[in-house]
Amino acid sequence: MRNQTTRRDVLRSGLAVAGLSFYGIPEWILPVLAQGEILVPFTDIPESFGSGALGPTRRVLDIRTIREALTSKDDFYTIQHFDQPDINPDTFRLKVSGLVERPAELSLAQIRDLGNEELVAGYECSGNSPRMMQGLASNGRWTGVPLQTLLNHVGVQATAREFVFFGADHGEENVDFRGTSYTVDQHFGRSLPRADALSTEPFLAYALNGEPLTREQGFPLRLVVPGWYGVCNVKWLTHVRAQEERFLGKWQARWYRTLWAEEIDGKISYHETEVGRMRVKSVIARVTQLNDHYTVHGFVLNDGTPLRSVEVRVNNGSWQSATLDSATTDKYSWKLFKYDWNGVTPGEHTLVSRAIDADGTVQPSAEALEFKQTGLENNAQFPRTVMIS
Ligand SMILES: Nc1nc2c(c(=O)[nH]1)N[C@H]1C(S)=C(S)[C@@H](COP(=O)(O)O)O[C@H]1N2
Ligand SMILES: [Mo]
């Protein structure tokens, strides 16, 4: 018998689990406003939802409070899988091993001697979504050393194909192999292929916005891979290993994957991809009123491809151009935008934004993203509702 399940049913089935909450339910923090400015209330924020601290070591940014290019260290979202290790900076060493000419163990002072450069980069957790009111995203100015400088310092062998980055944090993990489960202690680890690792972009950061990293941000050293999802930015970085084999650790090969359905010749086929570069996403963060003037504010994150446009649409009208903030033009910074909302009438209104990059990639509508079966990498357009009184 032919399977009668429709394409839509197949696609929907994968979405069923996405409704589960996994971060808890804290309190909203009241956003700070400029003088005279009134925050127009969103009517789409579930009462059960909150931002701020999600327990001692996790934090969501209330995106209605985004006023400046950089997120302060105390607001910067934070998340990780194990406990936050407490690292003594005096005894800290970054180990570089494997297929390098001169394996090394570098102190913090030696790393600082390698370079003192700056990089503005924002990122979001690949699990960021409407459910989290898009608050697993932030933007910072990092100080540190390009990874390339470190790799030149130790000398990379020709056979090195994969570069693995381990954090000091670790815990018991199950590794399943054909019906047998091995419970072993593992460190958080992520990898980059040679071309990406040797590019000028990945960055070893020891400071955020001019101050040493806090413990939750990965003190004393972390990796920042600009344009990639948060998971790639290994915190408490203590070991870089160059190897020939592909790295198949849990956080690389299993936990951070996306299952896609694809229609080929009228048939659905499925494939899985790793979580890597950020998919272009714009988000409306707040709406303000100053006298009778209304402004829609938001941000865009992507893989660093220049943006062609950011657009806002009111009540299913036509897409209108928003203006990008000149304070956020760095390649990997998030881009803040504003839209002057004219002709506002009392009542409830729906606002949505979309970003289009220079390659013509358009931020998808939720419907266009139905081919994505699993919850990560949700860059769908995010309609917001506001009440004008
Ligand atoms: N060592 C280590 N680094 C890690 C993680 C982790 O669990 N351990 N979590 C990753 C994930 S999933 C995200 S979203 C970012 C969050 O970085 P932040 O806390 O600085 O915002 O850290 C990444 N780096
Ligand atoms: Mo994440």
- Which helix (H) or strand (E) is 24 found in, with range? none
What is the pTM assigned to this prediction?
0.91
Asked if residue 120 and residue 49 are part of one domain, the reply reads no
Q: Best substitution site from 76, 80, 252 to test ligand 1's pocket, by max atoms within 8 Å of Cβ?
A: 80
At 193 the pLDDT is 98
Contact between residue 277 and residue 361 where contact means Cβ atoms under 8 Å apart: no
SS3 state of residue 27: coil
Residue 265 domain flag: no
Which ligand is the nearest neighbour of the Cα of 127?
Answer: 2
Q: CATH number for the domain including 317?
A: 2.60.40.650
Asked if residue 287 and residue 221 are part of one domain, the reply reads no
Residue 272 domain flag: no
Asked if residue 160 and residue 43 are part of one domain, the reply reads no
Q: Best substitution site from 54, 77, 79 to test ligand 1's pocket, by max atoms within 8 Å of Cβ?
A: 79
Residue 50 domain flag: yes
CB within 5 A of ion ligand 2: which residues? 125, 230-231
Structure confidence by residue, pLDDT tens digits, 229-278: 999 999 999 999 999 999 999 999 999 999 999 999 999 999 999 999 99
Residue 82 domain flag: no
Structure confidence by residue, pLDDT tens digits, 302-328: 999 999 999 999 999 999 999 999 999
**Two tokens, residue 348:** 């409830």
Q: Is the dihedral of CA 337, 24, 172, 180 positive or negative?
A: negative
Asked if residue 24 and residue 127 are part of one domain, the reply reads no
Structure confidence by residue, pLDDT tens digits, 350-386: 999 999 999 999 999 999 999 999 999 999 999 999 9
The candidate with the shortest Cα–Cα distance to 74, out of 215, 263, 265, 230, is 215
Mean pLDDT, the chain, rounded, equals 91
Q: Whose CA is nearest to atom 10 of ligand 1?
A: 231
Domain extent, residue 317, equals: 7-74+277-388
Rounded to 5 degrees, what angle do the CA atoms 63, 64, 69 make? 65
233 lines ligand 1 (CB under 6 A): yes
d(CA 202, CA 58): 25
The candidate with the shortest Cα–Cα distance to 355, out of 377, 374, 333, 381, is 381
Q: Residue 4: is its pLDDT beyond 60?
A: no
Which ligand is the nearest neighbour of the Cα of 78?
Answer: 1
The dihedrals phi and psi of 100, each to the nearest 5 degrees, come to -125, 155
d(CA 302, CA 334): 8
